[in-house]
Amino acid sequence: MPPINKSRIAKNTALLYFRMLLIMLITLYITRVLLNVLGKSDYGTYEVVGTIVAMFAFLGSTMATAAQRFFAVELGVENYAKLKQLFSVNVLIFIGLAIIILILAETVGLWYLNNIMNIPPDRVIATAWVYQFSVLSAAVSIVTIPYVAIITAREHMKAYAYLSILEVLFKLAIVFALLYFSLDKLILYALLAFLVQILISATYIIYSTVKFPECSLKYYWNKTMFNEVLNFAGWNVIGSLSMTFRSKGIDLLLNSFFDVLVNAARGLAYRVYNALILFITNFFTAIRPQIIKSYSADNDDNSGELMKLVFQSSKFCYYLILVLSIPVLIETSSILNIWLNNNVPEYTVVFTRLIIIVAIIESLANPLVASINATGKIKKYQIVTSTIILMILPVSYLFLKLGFPPQVTMYISIVASILAQMCRVYFMNKLLKMNISQYIKQVILPITAVTALAFVLPILFYSSFDESFMRLVGVCAVTVISSGFIIFYIGLTKLERKGLVGFVLKKFFLRK
């Protein structure tokens, strides 16, 4: 097995973090402006309409995982002829998928919109327009997925980072454009978002076609290859369906029990969740191709460098999100008031705190999921873990029917996330012979100790001062400094500390 390219991982991670910081800040600002421009009711309407579209578009995310996996495998063994064939087959699959989603959205989805959704009577027509533009945006996005997948599989993270930043800048521009037009702002926003999606998708396609020879599209059909991709993706459908039901299904469920203001609160909480997950996504986007390529190059050496990478990336993903989460969990109300200019819908605080706990638990999942997917043997894994996640919906319905408040859905999600992670560890042992006791010793015990200690000083600082902006700044500073020391001396091994110090010295102090 070729050595893991740590230099490339570090470089790509740096690029993706530059992308992430800009996108996170701009996205959070966009949400604040959009909430003020649209108002709580229209913002909640936009969130729940997007939920219906996402319920169908989950097929796209499923196929995206399959495309990335197959592209990375062929790059790992340097089989460029098969890579070109795979790319052509995937483009045909995604075009067909976009057509299927359009049909489903214009039949089942439209029926749900008109007959089930709890929409304010005076916003029915506007909601219908928003729905149509959202469906079209989803279809265009799905056709683009193979081109984005080949960029990440080839680890061209600079292009990926810049195009993502360009997309969010366009979204910022259209939010400000809403201030200068007297048209219905909800409809106008959906229209402009659709036009931005077309422009960004075209840019991805043009870049990939020019840069990578396998993307110079020619009609190619291979039934065996098609079945191979669909067989892998078919079992991933269950996983994607479960995750979609956990987030989007609960949104629709809450809409049937409460009004759109609860959807607005949950939508805002998910903006915070997405901002935190963005850190992990960027970090792991740089590592995932290395995991898949390492496995495909020599799947008999899984107990060596591959497991080392899995253990280390699991800890680093957890530490990254923990440091970011501590100030948000402690100062939730202050942060939301500053972010939303004191325009915070009811339930937003509790939703935000609970969804952050889910994010912390799920930060451990990515390295295990990528490794399991690399084996291609995902049937039993998807059945078990997806069943656990899917149970969130009926259990939530039962509790809501009994009169529990909307946040009960988040408590159920926390329990399900813990059980799902336990199942991933089991399947890592079964499929990749991962030593569970070593995983507990090298990952679980260190992160548990770090978590217990990292909250101490920030909470003491928080308790010592009255609410103010300076207290918020102090909590953030104390968290970063104290957590940094705790992670370095307790959360890392001696070898990891040595490697981190060497990397920092080489990168920032010993450069010529």
Query: Higher confidence at residue 288 or residue 13?
Result: 288
- Supply the pLDDT for residue 350: 92
Query: In angstroms, rounded to a whole number, what is the distance separating the alpha carbons of residues 344 and 445?
Result: 37
What would the two tokens of residue 430 be? 């079964």
Angle among Cα 149, 55, 268 to the nearest 5 degrees reads 90
Write b or e for each residue in 429-451: b if 16 or more Cβ atoms lie within 10 A of its Cβ, otherwise e: eebbebeeeebeebbbebbeebb
Tell me: pLDDT of 1 over 50: no
Cβ(238)–Cβ(382) below 8 Å:
yes
- Return the structure tokens found at 450: 């770090």
Grade residue 497 by pLDDT with cuts at 50, 70 and 90: confident
- The structure tokens listed for 253 are 């469920």
Please state the rounded mean pLDDT for residues 337-364: 88
CA distance 31 to 28: 5
Tokens of 511: 């450069």
Residue of 24, 67, 71 lying closest to 165 (CA atoms): 24
Mean pLDDT (the chain, rounded) = 80
For the entire predicted model, the pTM comes to 0.69
Q: What is residue 296's predicted lDDT score, i.e. its pLDDT?
A: 64
Tens-place pLDDT, residues 91-132: 888 888 888 888 888 888 888 878 877 777 777 888 888 888
pLDDT grade for 302, boundaries at 50, 70 and 90? very low
- For residues 334 and 476, give the distance between their C-alpha atoms in angstroms, rounded to a whole number: 12
Percent of the chain beyond pLDDT 90?
21
Both structure tokens of 448: 């548990």
- According to DSSP, residue 401 is labeled H
